[in-house]
Amino acid sequence: MTAFVPGMLPEEYEDLRAGVAKFADEEVAPVSAELDAEHEFPYGLVAKMGEMGLFGLPFDEEYGGMGGDYFALCLAIEEIGRVNQSLAITLEAGVSLGAMPIYRFGTEEQKREWLPGLTDGSGLGAFGLTEPEAGSDAGGTKTRATLDDGTWTVNGSKCFITNSGTDITRLVTATAVTGTRTSGSGGEVPEISTIMIPTGTRGFTAEPAYDKVGWNSSDTHPLTFDDVQVPEANLLGERGRGYANFLRILDEGRIAVGALSVGAAQGCVDESVKYAKERRAFGQPISDFQGISFKIARMEARVVAARSAYYLAASRMLAGMPFKKEAAIAKMIAGEAAMDNARDATQIHGGYGFMNEYLVARHYRDSKILEVGEGTTEVQLMLIARELGI
């Protein structure tokens, strides 16, 4: 097993990280405040990331990918998340939630049809799991799909779906109840499958975008399926394995969200160090005050711990070892680090930290969802406890 160690990356990974960091600093950071203020989806930056190959990092070259791996994707997400969480979640969701289910569970025909247009960044896929009454609770899924004469008819709704309503969204892969099955205890439980629904299909509506607290330049919509009809061949993976397959996708995604969270936490450290050295009070830089320097030191400690946690989870995943517990730990620790660092960075910046044009203010608004999305902190604790046998 190759264990990734912060600060000691193999050359190919370090070159990737440095290249994405340069892109983030020189091209993403200067326009991020305006994109956030205007709630504008960053089409130009997405196109640039496509040209850089970021959307294809973990996919085989035969499907238009870069032939890299999931850890490479995480490094890119971390560096972008350092300066713009909205853009980072666009990449994370487009790859690990949009394209990855097709890559993991699709037929060869499905992969060749859909992946090239997703791995090059010209199109985005979305992951339709959460509903008003269902997310972690699969039994609450209300969306239904019936199969008749080679056609699926889908009815229901989804909520909080990232990348689902852009001009370049190509499809949503949605969970739906397709029947019932007998559980291990002998009772009847929903049979949940996943079905690919291309945008533009009659009856598929991306409702008006949410008015969110943060991630203002990412795309998030509720979805409605009203007698949506797609071919039987649009079933993704084995019938009845939809939820189990999505759980695998979520385990991987938690590592990527952990990486995004580490980027946000690191961004707060960087901004706080810079500000504390420049801001003067009582005749000296505020970095000279122990109350400030200790706060920043604790912020840095959180970053190091969280980065180490997601590096470990990624190492185990790529080695083919069990990683569910490590992914849950990484996601939880990193999400909390991002939120704690954002709060401390805002405090260090004082009144300026409350102004939206400052990066730390955006991180303060953006970071809360990192303790909620792709499994709340409480869900991560449940998963960790379960993996411990309790």
In Å, what is the CA distance from 251 to each residue of 19, 257, 383? 27, 10, 10
Rounded Cα distance between 242 and 285, Å, is 56
Q: How does DSSP classify residue 273?
A: H
Q: Where are the alpha helices (DSSP H) in the chain?
A: 11-23, 29-38, 43-52, 70-81, 85-92, 100-105, 108-114, 116-119, 242-278, 290-318, 324-349, 359-367, 377-387
Q: What's the token pair of residue 5?
A: 């160690």
Interior/surface letters 284-294, b for 16+ CB within 10 angstroms, e for the rest: eebbeeeebee
Cβ neighbourhood burial of 89 (10 Å; 0-12, 13-18, 19+): buried
The Cα–Cα gap between 327 and 331 comes to 6
How many residues belong to the chain?
A: 390
Q: Is 151 helix (H, G, I), strand (E, B) or coil?
A: strand
Q: Which of 34, 374, 378, 387 is labelled catalytic?
A: 374
* Dist. CA 284–CA 108, nearest whole Å: 65
Closest CA to 258 of 301, 183, 313: 313
Asked if 326 is an active-site residue, the reply is no
Active site (catalytic) residues: 374
